[in-house]
């Protein structure tokens, strides 16, 4: 069985589930999902800049309305539950947990704990962070000791 750690920031869409569950053809995959709810106010500026870079000015203006910190935990838990149910429905083994702080430390620990074969980082584009190699995938490549695949979510919702 192939073991993947799947790092996400929102609920998986049907297209996302189909994509990650078919990456290895017919081989059985076990997923260990990490979801980090929205970060703190410092992340808000980067998200707004990404929205502007994508031409989504309305989204940039609404960044202040998005729950963050403790307020993001309940929606984060719900997104994780939805994602795990979708992976199970697709026939994959899956478990998961929320990350409240230090996502790369949690990722490294989970890779070691599970003996993962790979890490898949599935997020919306984060152009500013990617440009400076500060996105999860770029930073994880230097930390986890297994291949890291960066994929973009198929939709915003």
- Condensed to tens digits (0 to 9), the pLDDT of residues 102-122 reads 888 999 999 999 999 999 998
- Condensed to tens digits (0 to 9), the pLDDT of residues 62-99 reads 555 555 556 656 888 999 999 999 999 999 999 999 98
- Condensed to tens digits (0 to 9), the pLDDT of residues 4-17 reads 999 998 899 999 99
Query: Residue 157's pLDDT is what?
Result: 46
More confident residue, 109 or 157: 109
DSSP letter for each residue of 2-65: EEEEEEESSPPPHHHHHHHHTTTTTS-EEEEEEE-----HHHHHHHHHHHHHTT-HHHHHTGGG
Query: Residue 54's pLDDT is what?
Result: 59
* Gyration radius of the chain's alpha carbons: 15
Specify the pTM.
0.78
Map tokens 């199970």 to a residue. 88
119 touches 138 (CB < 8 A): no
């Amino acid at each position: 069985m192939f073991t993947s750690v799947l790092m996400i920031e929102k609920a998986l869409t049907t297209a996302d589930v189909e994509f990650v569950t078919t990456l290895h053809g017919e081989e059985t995959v076990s997923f260990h999902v990490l979801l980090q709810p929205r970060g703190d106010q410092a992340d808000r500026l980067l998200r707004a800049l990404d929205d502007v870079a994508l031409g989504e000015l309305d989204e940039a203006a609404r960044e202040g309305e998005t729950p963050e910190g403790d307020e993001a935990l309940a929606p984060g838990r719900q997104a994780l539950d939805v994602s795990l149910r979708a992976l199970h429905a697709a026939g994959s083994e899956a478990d998961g947990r929320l990350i409240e702080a230090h996502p790369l430390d949690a990722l490294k620990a989970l890779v070691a704990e599970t003996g993962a074969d790979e890490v898949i980082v599935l997020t919306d584009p984060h152009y500013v962070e990617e440009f400076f190699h500060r996105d999860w995938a770029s930073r994880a490549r230097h930390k986890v000791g297994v291949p890291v695949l960066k994929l973009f979510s198929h939709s915003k919702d």
